[in-house]
Amino acid sequence: MSGRRRQPRVLIYSHDSFGLGHLRRCRALAHAICEDVDDLSVLILSGSPIIGSFDFRSRVDFVRVPGVIKLRNGEYTPLTLPMAIEDAIGMRASIIRHTAEVFDPDILIVDKEPLGLRGELTDTLEVMKERGVHVVLGLRDVLDDPDLLLPEWRRKNALPALQEFYDEIWVYGLPQICEPLAGLDLPASVTRKMTYTGYLQRFADRTSNLELPPVSRDRPFILVTPGGGGDGEELVDWVLRAYEHDPTLPHPSLIVLGPFMQSERRTEFIARADALADVEAITFDAHMESLMARALGVVAMGGYNIFCEILSFDKRALIVPRTVPRREQLIRASRADELGLVTMLRGDNERRADTMATALRQLPQQQRPSDTVVPGLLDGLENVNILTRRALERQSGPALAARRRA
């Protein structure tokens, strides 16, 4: 290889077994890093079946590995390929390692799972550490209830991986709101690696020619989003029943059902929405930030990305968190409600239509997130850029030379 300085490269791994959360977070990170460092390139490794539906800026690309899906019993199965899960994981692991070896990144950012899905990242981590690559674990603000997270991470052998493979741990949140590894009794050598960045601010796509559906085109509307939709049927049903119960609700709703909702329920919900004067349901929009920016308020389940968008666009929000299979959304929503950032409505009661109708009426009168002052709340992308530049500076000397000789 010539002595000419090579343009820096960042590889982002996201297992993406279900939903949109991991993919959208990684995409936001990739775009921010590339915009901050002129000649940097980012490659995203993802198992998301709809990654091709999203736009990516220049110098950001992706490699899709065969998809898997998590069943309600906690087991995984291939999304479409008729093969054993062990074979699918083996294929994914091989693709991941080969891609990492050829792409030869300066920094590897791993999203959430320290060893990847069912340990598929282990071989790649070993190779990257041998090459001197700077390895980062990126964590959202909440993983799960500590009593559930501890046995899960012990089973996955995740705690030793934090010591063995990772140079840094970036937490995309603030400790005064949530601490994702609280209760794990981490050694000091691991806690020293942790940096809380703040939440990842989102921006509307200024180049998007978003065409709003008729019901929300000329009037202030409430955006209803269950994220990917695979586990949001109860939320959508509850909102629809509220409008069916009370046709005099003052503001229309636009429901984005999500690409992973079961087709039968999706068809049912669209038919029910069509029968209502002030409700429109669409399946999916890759420009959720633009929809969020135009909405009067938001009704959501409270996943990480939606929470970041609510904060970024300063939207009044009603959060109905799920409690299974993880308590992540409940923990986040409870704490945000305590701080006055959102209003939480527990969904584990009888879900009366009039209860939701009242909440929808009151939504426009809620305070905005900006009415609560939390220093550094949305500094996540700025701090990630700083951390990335620091890591690249460390990699530009002996570590890069050693990797070229490898």
What burial class does residue 263 get, using C-beta atoms within 10 Å of its C-beta: 0-12 exposed, 13-18 middle, 19+ buried? exposed
Query: pTM for this structure?
Result: 0.91
Q: Give, in order, the Cα–Cα distances in Å from 299 to each of 232, 290, 307.
A: 11, 16, 11
What is the per-residue DSSP string for 268-312? HHHHHHHTSTTEEEES--S-HHHHHHH-SEEEE---HHHHHHHHH
Whether the link from the prior residue into 105 is cis, omega within 30° of 0, is: no
Q: Which two tokens stand for residue 388?
A: 């990335």
What pLDDT is attached to residue 376? 97
Domain ranges, ordered by start, for the chain: 9-201+378-405, 214-371
Pairing of strands 76-78, 68-70: antiparallel
What pLDDT is attached to residue 183? 84
- Dihedral in degrees, nearest 10, Cα atoms 338, 339, 343, 346: -30
Contacts of 357 (CB under 8 A, 6+ apart): 242, 243, 245, 246, 249
Give the pLDDT confidence of 136-159 residue by residue, as tens digits. 999 999 999 989 999 999 999 999
What burial class does residue 234 get, using C-beta atoms within 10 Å of its C-beta: 0-12 exposed, 13-18 middle, 19+ buried? middle
Q: What sign for the dihedral angle of Cα 265, 243, 315, 317?
A: negative
Give the pLDDT confidence of 28-39 residue by residue, as tens digits. 999 999 999 999
Same fold? 9-201+378-405, 214-371: yes
DSSP 8: P
Domain 214-371: CATH class, spelled out: alpha beta
The second-level CATH assignment, the architecture, of 9-201+378-405 is 3-Layer(aba) Sandwich (3.40)
Q: Which two tokens stand for residue 18?
A: 């279900």
**Are 8 and 39 contacting, i.e. CB atoms less than 8 angstroms apart?**
yes
99: number of Cβ within 10 Å: 17
Give the pLDDT confidence of 359-384 residue by residue, as tens digits. 999 999 999 999 999 999 999 999 99
Q: What is the pLDDT along the chain (406 residues), one digit of tens a residue?
A: 334 458 999 999 998 766 677 888 999 999 999 999 999 999 999 988 888 888 899 999 999 999 887 766 667 788 888 899 899 999 999 999 999 999 999 999 999 999 999 999 999 999 999 999 999 999 999 999 989 999 999 999 999 999 999 999 999 999 999 999 998 989 999 999 999 999 999 998 765 556 677 777 778 999 999 988 778 899 999 999 999 999 999 999 999 998 889 999 999 999 999 999 999 999 988 788 889 999 999 999 999 999 999 999 999 999 999 887 788 999 999 999 999 999 999 876 789 999 999 999 999 999 999 999 999 999 999 999 999 999 999 987 545 544 544 4
Q: Which two tokens stand for residue 405?
A: 């000789």
**What radius of gyration, in Å, describes the C-alpha atoms of the chain?**
22
Q: Which two tokens stand for residue 83?
A: 């093969």
- CA–CA dist 222, 299 (Å, integer): 7
- CA–CA dist 314, 294 (Å, integer): 11
What pLDDT is attached to residue 71? 67
* H or E segment to which residue 14 belongs: strand 9-14
- CA–CA dist 98, 93 (Å, integer): 9
Please report, as a single letter, which amino acid is at residue 120: E
What pLDDT is attached to residue 60? 97
Contacts of 56 (CB under 8 A, 6+ apart): 27, 30, 31, 62
Q: Please count the residues of the chain.
A: 406
Sheet holding 41-46, edge to edge: 60-64, 41-46, 9-14, 107-111, 134-140, 168-172, 194-196
